[in-house]
Amino acid sequence: MRRITRIATAGIASAALALSVTACGGDKKSDTAGDSKDGKAAIAYDIGGRGDQSFNDAAYAGLAKAEKEFGISGTEAEPSEGEGDPDKVQRLTSLARAGNNPVIGVGFAYAPAIAEVAPKFPDTTFGLIDDTSKTGKNIANLVFNEEQGSYLAGVAAAKVTKSNTVGFIGGVETPLIKKFEAGFVQGVKDTNKNVNVKVQYLTQPPDFGGFSKPDLGKAAAQGQIDAGADVIYAAAGLAGSGSIEAAAKAKKWAIGVDSDQYNQSGLAAYKEYILTSVTKDVSGAVYNLIKSVKDGKPQSGEVRYGLDANGVGLSTSNPAFTKMTEVIAAVDKAKADIASGKVKVQTAP
């Protein structure tokens, strides 16, 4: 598997950032992307890149699984800090020209770039995760019902809090992250209307640093803990690791996001306090798109992953969580109520 990293060079504009290529992924150390006769696929990471223990890492897991099972050659492309749409256009164009199919943009920030690049490569399938605003015959919009998983997290938080105060931290105040907030707050209030939910966003668009700076997440979580919160749920990408650290050091509960963060090696020191995680099957979405292309039936249009097909959910890796029988029962009931339509989860606060 190839990994392409964007490196800023002093005095050169971001659109002219240099590319350096490093080999990764075990024995696959080729300097070319064309080693595999079984095809090539690429993912372009969102802010924070691989190693965020969350969203991007879930996408990587899907690519790695496809590479192993299908014999494809995988390429990863990293973002640069503060980059704009021209950088993303350049990245996606390079990946498509190299023969990768599909080319997957990890995150809604890739929407404008994919809309520009996809028509130029009509025989290449482009995956756009977390966005439906840009469509096309060769664009697969891979989206999730984040609000449903977050509702379950709200139920769990309301059941375990002892202070009747819990916190939500959003990386950047965008419509997507507002879905996480809406579901979480509704789940809390439907379970116990007396629980106070503190809501904080780390940055506002166009500043997307709230997805990449753990120190911001740590400071926000500490502030909520100081104000009485004993459960912290962060939807903040890499910054969320900072909130988990703060919660663990204060011996409070943290709720992870996107990946099962209890099982992330980079968070192993804090896992005891990661109650559960709101999972999105980003890995499965990436894998399924690659498989569809390999099978000659590429996905296109909206491909939605919801609670009904385990596209979102609540992890049960922490033994301490599974021993909370009353909490688990409440979560299972909420899941059934959503599936039956009895509970309609809001997508905006």
Burial of 236 (0-12, 13-18, 19+ CB in 10 A): buried
Q: How far apart are CA 150 and CA 155, in angstroms?
A: 9
Taking only the tens of pLDDT, the chain with its 349 residues reads 777 654 332 222 333 323 333 333 332 332 333 344 579 999 999 888 898 888 999 999 999 999 999 999 999 999 988 889 999 999 999 999 999 999 999 999 999 999 999 999 999 999 999 999 999 999 999 999 999 999 999 999 999 999 999 999 999 999 999 999 999 999 999 999 999 999 999 999 999 999 999 999 999 999 999 999 999 999 999 999 999 999 999 999 999 999 999 999 999 999 999 999 999 999 999 999 999 999 999 999 999 999 998 999 999 999 999 999 999 999 999 999 999 999 999 999 9
**Type of residue found at 79:** P
Global confidence as pTM: 0.86
Reported as half-sphere exposure (CB side, CA atoms, 13 A), residue 314 has a value of 30
Q: How far apart are CA 169 and CA 113, in angstroms?
A: 28
- What CA–CA distances, in Å, run from 343 to 151, 157, 190, 338? 10, 18, 10, 5
Token pair in block for residue 50: 């691989």
Catalogue all structural domains in the chain, each as residue range(s) with its CATH number: 40-144 (3.40.50.2300), 146-280+318-340 (3.40.50.2300)
**Could you give the strand order of the β-sheet that contains 231-235, starting from the edge strand earlier in sequence?**
196-203, 165-172, 231-235, 253-258, 274-280, 312-314
